[in-house]
């Protein structure tokens, strides 16, 4: 799948749409999800144009990958959720439930988050 530069997160990165920013560095932008699923629900996105974890881990430079995942850890520490615990999640493609075609990691925290998935059918 080729990258759609009109996706909503690309517009947020370009500043065309506002976001509730939590953190930003050279590699990543983190902002609160517009429809939170937990008391803390932050999205961390790379600055580069990647559809999913598939092309991110195929095409991104090592420095981009390291910088991005360091930013995820930094956000968790800055939010003060490490001690109580948190969950990171990445949805990929149709079966993964990905809605926005710009690679992103969800960070959930602020309450016991329960089991990861319902039992398989
Ligand atoms: P996905 O299903 O692609 O993993 O998750 C996309 C997430 O982006 C959803 O949790 C959705 O609530 C969030 N989202 C969609 N549009 C916007 C927006 O314009 N602003 C923000 N902050 N979050 C958005």
> Would residue 104 show up in a list of annotated catalytic residues for this protein?
yes
Cα 104 to ligand 1 centroid, rounded to whole Å = 9
Distance 64 CA to ligand 1 centre (A): 22
The encoded tokens of residue 97 equal 């439930």
- Tell me the pLDDT tens digit for each residue of 95-113: 999 999 999 999 999 999 9
What pTM, to 2 d.p., does this model score?
0.97
Residue nearest to atom 17 of ligand 1 (CA): 34
- The 8 Å CB, 24+ separation contacts for 22-30 are 22/75, 22/78, 22/79, 23/71, 23/74, 23/75, 23/78, 25/67, 25/71, 25/74, 26/67, 27/63, 27/64, 27/67, 27/68, 27/70, 27/71, 28/67, 28/68, 28/71, 28/72, 30/71, 30/75, 30/107
Kindly name the residue from 41, 74, 102, 104 that is annotated as catalytic.
104
54-91 pLDDT, tens digit each: 999 999 999 999 999 999 999 999 999 999 999 999 99
């Amino acid at each position: 799948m080729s990258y759609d530069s009109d996706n909503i997160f690309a517009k947020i990165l370009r500043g065309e749409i506002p976001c509730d920013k939590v953190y930003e560095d050279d590699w990543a932008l983190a902002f609160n999800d517009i429809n939170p699923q937990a008391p803390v629900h932050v999205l961390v996105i790379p600055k580069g144009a990647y559809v999913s974890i598939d092309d991110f881990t195929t095409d991104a430079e090592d420095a981009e990958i390291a910088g991005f995942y360091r930013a995820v850890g930094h956000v968790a520490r800055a939010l003060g959720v490490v001690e109580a615990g948190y969950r990171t999640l990445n949805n990929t493609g149709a079966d993964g439930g990905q809605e926005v075609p710009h690679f992103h990691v969800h960070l959930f925290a602020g309450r016991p988050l329960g089991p990861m998935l319902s039992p398989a059918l």
